[in-house]
């Protein structure tokens, strides 16, 4: 079956490769979505035959990725750099072969191998999918966003379950109910271990994920009708002059209502 290689944040790629504890995936193994999942539906309705030289850096077809692994440009041609095709391409190699500009964002991302449906809807007809099929730039962005949102949900669900288990075991050992929570760093390391996250030399990536964890947890605690929180967040992004205009407008509205 054909696959695509979708560019996602490194932690999203690691998460989806490690969801099955008994079957940890490598970079080369494809993540498989069932026919009833939204991700599968997106691919079934939006994958198209796209020539290798027209594919975006967000999503490569199986044939384009094969060219990259053999040291060629995605469209093929002569060998640009000699490399072992059995090794996963590095960031520098990808930049050289794809023409992408090297940046910090490149180092914090990875390509996730995803299995495509056997058939796709093209022009109202089901067509057989081959190794040249992939997603356009817009749909690759859309699918990446779906995977990111799913990661956030599953990651927060896992960490909260880990905290509940920790509290339950601590209460059983103490013989009474106590308010004790595991440190976020400890929870995160347990998550990395269970999902077989790669060893990362740059601690800034882990620190970034820890900060996101705190923000997600804070946002998850907010109520949908918590207007004070919303207004406070909004005011953080406007200038003092705009804030003064809002204050005067609210005061004028209040006086009009009183009259």
pLDDT at 177: 65
pLDDT at 38: 93
Q: What is d(CA 259, CA 250) in angstroms, rounded to the nearest whole number?
A: 14
Q: Phi and psi of 207, rounded to 5°? A: -65, -40
pLDDT at 41: 93
Per-domain residue ranges for the chain?
3-149, 227-258
pLDDT at 180: 63
Q: What is d(CA 120, CA 43) in angstroms, rounded to the nearest whole number?
A: 8
Which residues pair with residue 110 across a beta bridge? 8
Q: Torsion-angle region of residue 199: left (phi > 0), alpha (psi -120 to 50) or beta?
A: beta
User: How buried is residue 136: exposed, middle or buried, by Cβ count under 10 Å (0-12/13-18/19+)?
Assistant: middle
Which residues pair with residue 113 across a beta bridge? 5
Q: Are 31 and 23 in contact (CB under 8 A)?
A: no
SS3 state of residue 64: helix
pLDDT at 19: 87
- Kindly list the averaged pLDDT for each block of 10 residues, start to end, along the chain of length 259: 92 90 89 94 94 92 95 92 93 89 77 95 89 94 92 84 78 67 76 76 66 70 46 41 63 74
pLDDT at 44: 94
Residues 6+ apart with CB under 8 A from 8: 109, 110, 111, 112, 144, 147, 148
Euclidean distance between the first and the last CA atom of the chain, given in angstroms as a whole number? 72
pLDDT at 147: 94
pLDDT at 123: 83
pLDDT at 165: 80
Q: What is d(CA 236, CA 122) in angstroms, rounded to the nearest whole number?
A: 46
Q: Are 34 and 40 in contact (CB under 8 A)?
A: yes
pLDDT at 102: 78
Q: What share of the chain is helix, strand, coil (3-state, %, to 5)?
A: 50, 10, 35
């Amino acid at each position: 079956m054909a696959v695509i290689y979708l560019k996602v944040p490194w932690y999203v790629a690691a998460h989806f490769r490690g969801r099955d504890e008994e079957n940890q995936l490598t970079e080369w193994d494809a993540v498989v979505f069932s026919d009833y999942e939204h991700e599968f539906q997106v691919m079934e309705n939006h994958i198209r035959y796209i020539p290798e030289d027209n594919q975006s850096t967000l999503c490569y077809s199986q044939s384009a990725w094969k060219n990259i692994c053999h040291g060629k440009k995605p469209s093929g041609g002569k060998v640009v750099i000699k490399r072992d095709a059995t090794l996963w391409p590095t960031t520098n190699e990808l930049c050289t072969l794809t023409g992408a500009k090297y940046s910090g964002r490149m180092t914090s991302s990875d390509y996730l191998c995803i299995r495509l449906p056997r058939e796709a809807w093209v022009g109202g007809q089901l067509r057989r999918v081959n190794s040249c099929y992939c997603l356009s730039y817009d749909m690759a962005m859309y699918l990446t966003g779906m995977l990111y949102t799913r990661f956030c949900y599953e990651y927060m669900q896992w960490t909260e379950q880990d905290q509940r288990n920790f509290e339950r075991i601590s209460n059983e050992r103490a013989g009474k109910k106590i308010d004790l929570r595991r440190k976020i760093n400890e929870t995160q390391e347990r998550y990395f271990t269970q999902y077989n996250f790669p060893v990362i030399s740059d601690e800034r990536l882990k620190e970034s994920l820890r900060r996101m964890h705190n923000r997600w947890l804070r946002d998850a605690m907010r109520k949908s009708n918590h207007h004070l929180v919303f207004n406070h967040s909004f005011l953080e992004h406007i200038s003092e002059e705009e804030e003064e205009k809002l204050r005067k407008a609210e005061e004028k509205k209040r006086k009009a209502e009183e009259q």
